[in-house]
Amino acid sequence: MIDFGQLRGRTIAITGASKGIGKATAVFLDQLGANLVLGARNENGLKSVASQMHSNPLVMSLDVTDESSVRRFAGQAISTYGKVDVLINCAGIGVFQPTLTMDTDDFDRMVSVNLRGTFLCCKHFGQHMVQNHGGRIINLVSIAGTTALSGCGGYSASKFGVLGLTRVLQMELRGKGVQVTAVLPGAVHTPLWDLVEPKPDTSQMIPVESLAKHIVYLLCQPEGAVIDEITIMPPLGIL
């Protein structure tokens, strides 16, 4: 039986928390009594999320591509709560176009946000966790990080990179008390699809609230084993 009570009072930082997976995960963790540190570029979106919560989360503007912004985010979280127990990297963007006609700026943005952003957050929160001899990092990857999908050249390149980074971090931090987990979902019903044409059938995708619960379940696993990587799929497959 899952003991959600162990999350009460734990400090959890979430990037990309203004919408999608980050928002849904934050809402669920708020119900479980966690201390939340929420970051995203969309400050109004963050304030809207915070207004729906029972607690009083620490809300900060965050650009994961900017190391000084990430450093401030981590520093404020640590100074406010003393330590951060968990980092959940949800910030990400996707532009889906044939690789040969994709705008180079779009490619660069996906690599910068998805890969560089994950690296910077892992770096600054990971240093703190190593000093405290304990912590959890969950990186949202994607099934596109292991599977070649047409129209996902830039997105897959960035997500394959995130998975490689996560696996190296697992090796480097395992003996230092820090557990790093890669979450690879298939298609999730999030605002990521709003700008995609033609519109996909979102009714068959993973509900974002369902994925958020899977993420939280990972934080409540019994001791004695760790989950390095988990793939979570819609009932009918990738989509």
Mean pLDDT, consecutive 10-residue segments, the chain of 239 residues?
87 97 96 97 94 93 98 98 98 94 97 98 98 97 94 96 98 97 93 73 88 96 92 86
- Residues 239, 220, 23: CA angle, nearest 5 degrees: 50
Contacts with 73 (C-beta within 8 Å, 6 or more apart), sequence order: 13, 15, 37, 39, 60, 62, 121, 124
Domains in the chain, start-ordered, CATH in brackets? 4-232 (3.40.50.720)
155 labelled catalytic:
yes
Query: What's the pLDDT tens digit per position in 47-93?
Result: 999 998 989 999 999 999 999 999 999 999 999 999 999 999 999 99
Catalytic residue among 155, 158, 187, 212: 155
User: Which stretches does DSSP call E strand in 33-154?
Assistant: 35-40, 58-61, 86-89, 135-140
- Residues 67, 194, 187: CA angle, nearest 5 degrees: 80
Q: What is the pTM of this model?
A: 0.95
3-state secondary structure (DSSP) of residue 175:
helix
Element (H, E) at 11: strand 11-15
